Amino acid sequence: MHIVRYPGKGRFSSEGVVTAWDKNAGDSIENGDYLVQIEASGEWIQLESATEGMLLKVLSGVGCFVRSGDALAIIGPKGADISKVLEKLESKTPVAAAKSSPKPKAKPAVAVQSVQSTQPKKEEVMETPKSTGNPDSVVPILMPQAGQSMEEGTILSWKVKEGDPIEIGQVIMEIETDKATMEVEADAAGRIAKIVSSEGDIVEVKVPVAYLAEEGVDVDAYIASAGGASVPAADKAEAKPVAKSAAPAAQKTPTSVSASGRVKASPAARRAAADKGVDLASIGAGSGPGGRVLSSDVDNADVIPTEIQTHTLTKMRRAIAKNLSYSKQTVPHFYAKTTIDAGLLFSTYRQTKERFKCSVNDFVTRACAKAIRQYPPFRSQYKDTEIVENPAANIGIAVGTDDGLTVPVVLGADRMKLEQLAARTREVVESARNGKLEGMGQGVFTITNLGMFGVEEFSAIINPPESAILAVGAIREGVIVENGAMRPTRLMTVTVSVDHRVIDGVVAAQFLKTLKELLQAPEQLL
């Protein structure tokens, strides 16, 4: 049998996070098959199998934090007994690691859920060793780091309570990051012995929010030995002053305010408040659990601004500002545009949408996927002293939401037919509009379309660490001159922005030429 391990050496970072599995337990594996996708220091890595057989067990599910040498999966003959292999690996699990050290430096015990997540079947879950009552058997559950730029997360809700038993892959809480709302899965089985961060608390990444231990274990002793205290982690982490807009919350009903002074509110309530210019602190206790403010509370609030309003930047707005400023200041942008005869594209789209639900943007995405496959620089990233080429065309779709611009990603767009691509794009866009971002940090190229607003052409800022972005304008009526004669048709202008460190002007021109040819012969895209 073969154990697949995270290399974490050479050009790879020594640690990373599992973002997706390309294979499921029970699948047949060929030498060279893509197995798993890992994000390491902002770089997207796709590991291939070095052997053939059956994927007998996934050991590190989606969202798991892995270091050099950590076991990811077991491959072997169909029906092989893996019990002895598991026994050898058991000493390296998070539970065993916690037993060997009194400090909470074990791997994070939680994982962020992804649509592509491959959860182990219940019968495959390794049993947590029975506790001896020693506090060293305590396992910390940490606030996960979902993406390189994430520094803290807000706990929106706990799905478990103290005393509950949990299994690997079980959703235990929901968190809000600077970019999305996410469900968090357990990466270790056991019993929730102590929850130290409440709903609404803001907690730094990799800081404990709860602890696993058997009944009778002195968790407080473990926390004390680790140099901490049995108070919410957010209380210790939040030493900075509360923003001015949240200051009045300290005088409101205590149940509506978190330990850090932040008003407890749902993402929908925050969006509604931002739209109406309403200070959440002015609403008081909400109608949700623990006084949490809901969108209905915002709708019913009789608050009419009479002065100039100053709004503190949301986490998402700060993240957008930081990323785009970094991109524009550090990435040498180069722009190229072309105008496409979209007459046949438009008529083909209208005929196709009678067969299945699709949009013009789906045709553009499909054409980009084929072109990206042909030109590797368009799926590459600049990394100080090297250029890293990604194996697949993972395309980001820019989506405007109430909170700002988000970019969910369609993974493996180059491997999909138009109908499958259209359906998958609708799924990730809808998730983004509901506050859940898919494929975050895994994109190699982004498409942004303002055509629905009548914008004919524009230039976009590259979404780092990607090396290119395509700006799509409106399909409009126009004329083309051919052999001295004018012909009425429909026109569409597209502009590509590229990182000139990775993509030369000639390659950008070739990409646009190929894209134009594909869109002007749309039958190739079906």
Q: Annotated active-site positions, please? A: 500, 504
**CA 339 to CA 515: how far, in whole Å?**
11
How many CB atoms neighbour CB 401 within 10 A?
17
**CA 122 to CA 137: how far, in whole Å?**
23
Q: For residues 418-438, b (16+ Cβ closer than 10 Å) or e, as one string?
A: bbebbebbeebbebbeebbbb
Contact 150, 236 (CB under 8 A): no
The closest alpha carbon to 362, from 434, 432, 413, belongs to: 413
Query: Helices 418-433 and 360-374 sit at what angle, rounded to 10 degrees?
Result: 110
Residue type at position 238: E
**CA 204 to CA 394: how far, in whole Å?**
29
How many CB atoms neighbour CB 216 within 10 A?
9
How many CB atoms neighbour CB 169 within 10 A?
23
Peptide bond into 289 cis (omega under 30): no
CA neighbours closer than 13 Å in the CB half-sphere of residue 472: 21
**CA 180 to CA 405: how far, in whole Å?**
11
